[in-house]
Structure 1
Amino acid sequence: MSLIPPFTEETARQKVKKAQDLWNARDPEACAKAYTPDSIWRNRDHFFTGTAAIKAFLDEKWAKEHNYRLRKELFAFTADRIAVQFWYEYQDAHDGMKWKRCYGLEDWTFAPDGRMRKRQMSGNDVLIEEGERWFREGVDVNAVEIGEEHW
């Protein structure tokens, strides 16, 4: 099944999970290939353009965010856009390896070839204790029950 626009609900969900798997592999070079050379990004308070900047951003991100585990879920879609809700957990190398969870939303716009040409991300980090973690080693992030209060 093709994961290029126009999306159906099924292909939009597949596209979201493919992105989730790509990011969970934490390979900045492979991730950057999923975006157009002129892809526009806003990630929290960072604004940048292009795959070289995306790769540099991801290199820095995963140098800071150890034991990163992410879940993405389809929120809404149109022919060439997808909105995603996400949750990820990580240990913050810049904050004494404390566990944190980020909650957020992304808005994606795709080029006709299926690569992302725009990504806008808003997220908030919350400090969590070890016992509050959802995405422990060996846990399928897709199987974790996330209550409505976190959606």
Structure 2
Amino acid sequence: MTPEAPRHPLPPFSNDSTIEKVRLAEDGWNGRNPAKVALAYTPDSNWRNRAEFPEGRAQIEKFLVRKWANELDYRLIKELWAHDSNRIAVRYAYEYHDDSENWFQAHGNENWEFDEKGYMTRRFANINEHPIQEANRKFQWPLGRRPDDHSCLIDLGL
């Protein structure tokens, strides 16, 4: 159990609260602030992200610092796939470029588990990416939060 104040919405999740939790996670990652994003996880949270296994907020923050230093102009969309009382499955896609202006689009899914205070205790991510031409980018909003009227993954053909 985490000593911090609850992070709403809390489990058990309804469909509406799950959609809200997913959007809050997307907004946090699109803000690209590793210290702030790490606070959404329990102090002993464990992850699987491709072949990396960060444990705890300090390692998660270091992971995110490195990620966003290499994945420039990062933009992400997450969508609810399924949920139960304290678990959420999402699918997502994101776009970024490297320091040589090579663009990539990544697709994946995540399984999340939350404690009773709404902090994520586990995150298991599977990700595949491929190079794209800049002209084929689909996530063109200004850096930061995705606009509410932006197309969802299904509408974008993803």
TM-score (norm 2): 0.88
2:81 to 52, 75, 78: 75
Contact 1:108 1:118 in 2 (8 A): yes
Distance 1:89 1:149 in 2: 13
What are the ranges of 5 or more consecutive residues in structure 1 without an aligned counterpart? none
- The farther-off stretch of 130-139 and 9-18 is 130-139
- Counterpart of 2:60, as a letter, is I
Distance 1:42 1:142 in 2: 32
Q: Give the alignment of 1:2-151 within 5 angstroms.
A: 2-93=8-99, 96-138=100-142, 140=147, 143-144=150-151, 146-147=153-154, 150-151=157-158
Please report the RMSD computed on the Cα atoms of aligned residues, expressed in angstroms: 1.8
Contact 2:105 2:132 in 1 (8 A): yes
Shift of 1:97: 2.3
Distance 1:141 1:105 in 2: 22
Contact 1:134 1:144 in 2 (8 A): no
- Runs of 4+ residues deviating >4 angstroms: 147-151
- The farther-off stretch of 62-71 and 128-137 is 128-137
- Counterpart of 2:44, as a letter, is D
Distance 1:13 1:38 in 2: 25
Shift of 1:136: 1.1
Distance 1:109 1:51 in 2: 15
How many residue pairs end up in the alignment?
Answer: 148
Using CA pairs below 8 Å that are at least 6 residues apart, which structure has the higher relative contact order?
Answer: 2
By percentage of residues, which structure has more strand? 1
Shift of 1:150: 4.9
Identity of aligned residues (%): 41
TM-score (norm 1): 0.91
